[in-house]
Chain A
């Protein structure tokens, strides 16, 4: 089999807290190739952000502990690398942008300095060259008057502009992989679209792979080539965007689909939020973690943790009931509308 750019293999990150073990990430597996976009979807607490931070080596350990699995980048195991070498990959070959641009930039330094920093660390650029490149980067992400803006402080930028700065910073060293952790959640809707467009445009130019972490299925439908749906630290469905959107197999994915307003469907479908709360991950029992909220749950769901099974072309899902006769998506009476 050809080597992938990134191979995540049964990755497990558990937090050992005073109250018990939190299995924040519990068996995530996928691959990523250059120029590809993977959408990682889930509610808050589903482990989608933690899995990215684990790959970046940004999870404080302790309390975090890698309990198994591996992340291979260009064939090398990231988790086995010494700190110094991982640091050389961070921000250089794999870069990350975060949710809140208002707090993600250091308020006491000029944006130019913050943009120049990765260039000076990873590319050994002189301060002067790095600042010149910083101006170019600001221009690239569409900030007007980059020559003067480079000397401004973060608080002098708007939220959308700050996220552009963050993107510029992440792209400074031409990374192979860009991880975007809910990059638009904190922004206005109109700005959200602009930022997404910018990312797609830049991806075409640089051919970098993107891991787009989001709870917004619309974003994934627009951008991603493949989708990973996570629930309570585990992958519940994985496949190409077309497969997952048109032939979803997991009740949780069905629920997610029902809970978003769709403009492409003409029937006046009801908006159905998934009832209940995501489970506590502390000392989770050995059962399907979605069972308590699942309208399709049966006794079999309580007996063991379901494993991912192939349900279509490159399409995996983890539900005990898949393959059962007569198990299919049904129109549910939507009791909880208006939430």
Chain B
């Protein structure tokens, strides 16, 4: 197992450098990218100030020096007056408010994580549940329903689903019940509802695509597993059908599903940009989309960087914990 974990961590190294290099290149060398202009937003700086800034930021230095400086800025531990200190990563400052991006992230990240946790809970319960029902009752009306609805869910634009949910549960339902029953359409807290009620619609929206995929994977895994020889062995031992399903098929089928759900957290961050925008949820996602409209590039860049790093770390954790889930890796010798 140690070998497996070491291998994963070694594989993580090129991913880290690949991503940081890509980020660095996008910010500095993309057609249309102008590191100085980005710091000014819509205004145009006078040429002499621009020249001075180029010198100050070292933008006239070779690319690898700049990349090195960029990595140092990202590092949370820096050398201050000759000694190493925890300073946190430097992601720049907002053009409009002048606040450090890391401060903004510290305020918004907890909200995004809260929403993502709700969505993952929905994904686990509904996705796995629907997948199991669909596989156990293969070709039944439930199976058709699950297959059809997952096809629709993965073909829906997430933001449109959010808007439609807002309309039906927040506007139409309110009108239809004379204001007696409806759901809040904004993520910002209000005196009318307890906080968790505000999470219902954004949670469903964010969970939608992932839940559909989880259900599909669960279904196909379970169907695949039930054709395996060891399931026949379990039946031959005299296990009941329920025993076969829950004690023998489920664990085997769940391993890839759990891995998927873990890795899918990354996709959820991307979905959060759209979902949070629709629901004005005060997380990283809505901050990014607001910053896009305001052309506050340091916020866009810093926030996406933070998301990519989160994805990277989650992937690593999922990869490593996979070793604990699957005894074939935990106890070695399986070849793969």
User: Interface residue tally of chain B, by bracket?
Assistant: 20 to 34
Q: Which among A91, A100, A108, A155 is the interface contact of B236 at CB below 8 angstroms?
A: A91
**Distance in Å from the Cβ of B156 to the closest Cβ of chain A?**
35
Residues of A close to B121: CB separation below 8 A: none
Segment from B179-187, B307-315, B324-332 that makes contact with A: B324-332
Q: Is B235 an interface residue when CB atoms closer than 8 A count as contact? A: yes
Residue contact B235 to A90, C-beta cutoff 8 Å = yes
Whole-angstrom CA separation of A100 from B230 in the bound complex: 10
Residues of B close to A105: CB separation below 8 A: 230, 233
Residue contact B252 to A107, C-beta cutoff 8 Å = yes
Closest to B326 in A: A108
Question: Quick one: given A107-B327, A152-B331, A155-B331, are A121 and B233 in contact (CB under 8 Å)?
Answer: no
Residue contact B238 to A88, C-beta cutoff 8 Å = yes
Q: Is B255 an interface residue when CB atoms closer than 8 A count as contact? A: yes
Whole-angstrom CA separation of A169 from B239 in the bound complex: 13
Question: Quick one: given A105-B230, A108-B326, A153-B328, are A91 and B237 in contact (CB under 8 Å)?
Answer: yes
Whole-angstrom CA separation of A117 from B251 in the bound complex: 16
Q: Is B55 an interface residue when CB atoms closer than 8 A count as contact? A: no
Residue contact B334 to A118, C-beta cutoff 8 Å = no
**Distance in Å from the Cβ of B137 to the closest Cβ of chain A?**
15
Q: Is B229 an interface residue when CB atoms closer than 8 A count as contact? A: yes
**Distance in Å from the Cβ of B232 to the closest Cβ of chain A?**
6
Q: Which among B232, B237, B255 is the interface contact of A121 at CB below 8 angstroms?
A: B237
Residue contact A106 to B331, C-beta cutoff 8 Å = no
**Distance in Å from the Cβ of A293 to the closest Cβ of chain B?**
31
Question: Quick one: given A122-B238, A152-B331, A155-B334, are A107 and B230 in contact (CB under 8 Å)?
Answer: yes
Q: Is A194 an interface residue when CB atoms closer than 8 A count as contact? A: no
Closest to A166 in B: B233
Residue contact B238 to A106, C-beta cutoff 8 Å = no
Interface residues of A in 86-118 (CB under 8 A from B): 87-92, 95-96, 98, 100, 103-110, 117-118
6 tightest Cβ-Cβ pairs between the two chains A and B: A91-B238, A91-B237, A103-B229, A90-B238, A106-B230, A153-B327
A-B contact pairs, 8 of them (CB 8 A): A90-B237, A103-B229, A106-B230, A107-B328, A118-B237, A153-B327, A155-B327, A156-B331
Can you name 18 extra interface pairs (CB under 8 A) apart from A98-B232, A118-B238? A58-B236, A90-B236, A95-B236, A98-B233, A104-B230, A104-B232, A104-B233, A105-B230, A106-B230, A106-B248, A108-B326, A109-B248, A117-B239, A118-B237, A153-B331, A155-B331, A156-B331, A156-B333
